[in-house]
Structure 1
Amino acid sequence: MKFSKLVLPGITMIAVTYGLARFSFGLLLPAINESLEMTDSTSGVVSSLFYVAYCVTIVLSTVITTQEGPRRMIILAGLSAFLGLLLMAIAPNVWLLGLGVLLAGGSTGLASPPYGAAVSIWMKTEKQGKANTWINSGTGFGIALSGLGAILLMPHWRLTYGIYAALALFILLWNYKAIPEMNTGFGAKLVLKKGNFSLQGVKRANRLMIASLVLGFSTAAFWTFSRTFIGTAGDYNEWQLSGFWVIIGLFGVLGGFSGSLIEKGGLPLAYKGGSLAIAFASILLALAPENFSIAYISAGLFGCAYIFLTGVLLVWGIRVFIKNASLGIGVPFLLLAVGQVIGSSFAGVFIESWGYAFTFMLYGLGGIAAAFIGPEKV
């Protein structure tokens, strides 16, 4: 199968599910809170639904993709993102908003495993690493787009979500046409068997699982509180705060080169370098959050390192679970999300007790610790 025929629709689907359906919510939350008169505790509960839905659907998607192939889950991911964004756009109350959040958050878990399976089925072996990491970099494009949306349409959050829903529908139709059925000529000789849903490779997966969990924990403070941190520490206007998010996304696109860097430097070196970079991003922000240049450098470093590291985890997982690409993506991405749930909860407590700077420094040290749990040669 031609590289661009699978990778380009894959990048856009990941951009919609992760960037628009999931990560845009935090940027639009102030306007949503004001419109729907939500308290901080209510908005916190609604926000947690993204993680809950993700954890459930990534398990579901891994199982079904293994049994039936990738097409159904990819289409379902696009449909879930479209319906979730549409419901969020028209939500008259917090209950319908919560349902939209569940659907939007669930789309991310549905999308990741089937693309790994699709690449393993329809891409030549030597192109699989690059294909997986470029599809994964779609998160960066989506985050950047959500930041631009916040800058241009901040007061009009319903219109913003309506536009995102229209984009999701277009990309759903593109993937519907681009992803072949398993019984077509593309995949007829490589149909996934139910027997492939096994934990073959699990003995080598311990370090992968621990690393994913620790990395999820260490990145949680940045994802959840970095924008609030700089907003309270410095004299930033709304454009600059949203621009901070755009920088995360734009530099995240560079994470698409992780496949090439893994090929040149090896998986262990790529993992260690990415972990140290993401740790330094948190430490740098802790040292000078009020400095515009430092804050933006930190954002760029975090965005690039985070997308790079998720690409590394993706390749590492597929190499460990060599007989099941969807499981190789599902396991580290699930544990990354679990780590972020735990990390976000503790970060809030730490910030209340010791402040933002100490918390970000602590989480930066967590990233350094993660660097020592990297892969052996796999």
Structure 2
Amino acid sequence: MFYLAYCFTIIISTVITTNEGPRRMIILAGLSAFAGLLLMAVTPNAWVLALGVLFAGGSTGLISPPYGAVISLWIAGNKQGRANTWINSGTSFGIVLSGMGAILLLPNWRLTYLIYAGLTLLILIWNFQAIPKVEKRPKLRFEKGSLSFRGVSGAIPLIIASLLLGISTAAFWTFSRSFIEVAGDYSDWQLSGFWIIIGLFGVLGGFSGSLVEKGGLPLAYKIGSLSVASASIILASSPEWWLISYLSAGIFGCSYIFLTGVLLVWGIRVFIPNASLGIGVPFLLLALGQVIGSVFAGWLIGTWGYVNSFVLYGIVGMLAAFIGSSKN
């Protein structure tokens, strides 16, 4: 439900941001995240919990395109790649905090969601104050972008790469924790620590913008896709050993955030006239691939087992590495 909500809202957000600018979508994303977390905190049953997941998942789709548009308005062209990738790495800080919350507030999951709802409200107010209306800032001239793919060079490789990478990472995001829980004798804090490692190393993914600038987009893409694929194979090798599982978590966290940052820069370079479309297209296809990959991963794990399934998903990720960008 989270992935499906993301796919739906990122389309809406891309269209509205393209036509109206970023402010409205950023505020709406904050309200959606706040409502979703609050509903999960006070839920009386599974149905309300599901509704909260929809709102929270939808907020992540709403927020990506308008932040790209904001950067295109505020940040100098030679710094936009780094700015976008550091915004993208914010996910890693959230994963670290959620993992720590799971350890410290284990019996009080409602309180955890309530704390996050409070943080969301503060950040929403911050964004409301910090992001001005375009018409009130004469220097910020928002120009409507185009939603057409006609004449856009390099869109097809970007679409295929994003979809394949979404499929290949779905097993790790959805089933890696249950994999190590079944394979080894892990305590609750060690299982939560697995997610903290993903988040801590994910922060390093914010440097993808710098690597793109220095080594070029094709090299950065190949490094990222091969690394994220190797994480699934490494985990499949010895999931019962905490050192191996934590190593795979670190590689996955760093390379996933790194890779999504690369896709973000790649998309913006392909859709030059429309930064929101450049972010929306690869992130939509990535999420769609994760929906497809999660469904098949559940079936494959039930049929082939965890080890074979994770190796297979790692191979899919390595195949995606051969689809590269021609834009340096």
Normalising by the residue count of structure 2, what TM-score does the alignment of the two structures yield? 0.98
Q: 2:153, 2:270 within 8 Å by CA — same for their partners in 1?
A: no
Aligned to 1:27: none
Cα shift readout 1:239-284 (whole Å, capped 9, x = no counterpart): 0000000000110010100000000000000000001101111100
> Against the structure 1 CA distance between its residues 85 and 187, is the aligned structure 2 distance closer, same or farther, given a 3 Å change threshold?
farther
- Moved runs in structure 1, 4+ residues, more than 3 A? 200-203
Shift, 1:200, TM fit: 4.9
Aligned to 1:191: 142
Q: Distance in 1 between matches of 2:143 and 2:103?
A: 44
Shift, 1:97, TM fit: 1.2
Cα shift readout 1:64-112 (whole Å, capped 9, x = no counterpart): 0011110110111111000110011001012211111111110000000
Aligned to 2:135, what secondary structure does the other structure show? coil
Partner AA of 1:198 in structure 2: S
Q: 1:271, 1:371 within 8 Å by CA — same for their partners in 2?
A: yes
Shift, 1:198, TM fit: 2.8
Partner AA of 2:221 in structure 1: Y
Which residue, out of 172, 190, 195, partners 1:240?
A: 190
Q: Gaps (5+ residues) in structure 1?
A: 1-48
Aligned to 1:72, what secondary structure does the other structure show? helix
Q: Distance in 2 between matches of 1:200 and 1:146?
A: 42
Shift, 1:175, TM fit: 0.6
Q: 2:9, 2:59 within 8 Å by CA — same for their partners in 1?
A: yes
Q: Does 1:65 align with 2:17?
A: yes
Q: Does 1:276 align with 2:226?
A: yes
Q: Does 1:317 align with 2:317?
A: no
Aligned to 2:91: 139
Q: Percent identity?
A: 71
Shift, 1:377, TM fit: 2.4
Q: Gaps (5+ residues) in structure 2?
A: none
Aligned to 2:326: 376
Q: 1:281, 1:302 within 8 Å by CA — same for their partners in 2?
A: yes
Q: Distance in 2 between matches of 1:92 and 1:198?
A: 44
Which residue, out of 14, 32, 36, partners 1:80?
A: 32
Q: 1:67, 1:197 within 8 Å by CA — same for their partners in 2?
A: no
Cα shift readout 1:198-249 (whole Å, capped 9, x = no counterpart): 3255442000000000000000000000000001101100000000000001
Aligned to 2:50, what secondary structure does the other structure show? helix
> Against the structure 1 CA distance between its residues 287 and 74, is the aligned structure 2 distance closer, same or farther, given a 3 Å change threshold?
same
Q: Distance in 1 between matches of 2:7 and 2:317?
A: 22
Q: Does 1:253 align with 2:207?
A: no
Aligned length: 328
Considering only aligned residues, what root-mean-square deviation do their CA atoms show, in Å?
1.1
Aligned to 1:124: 76
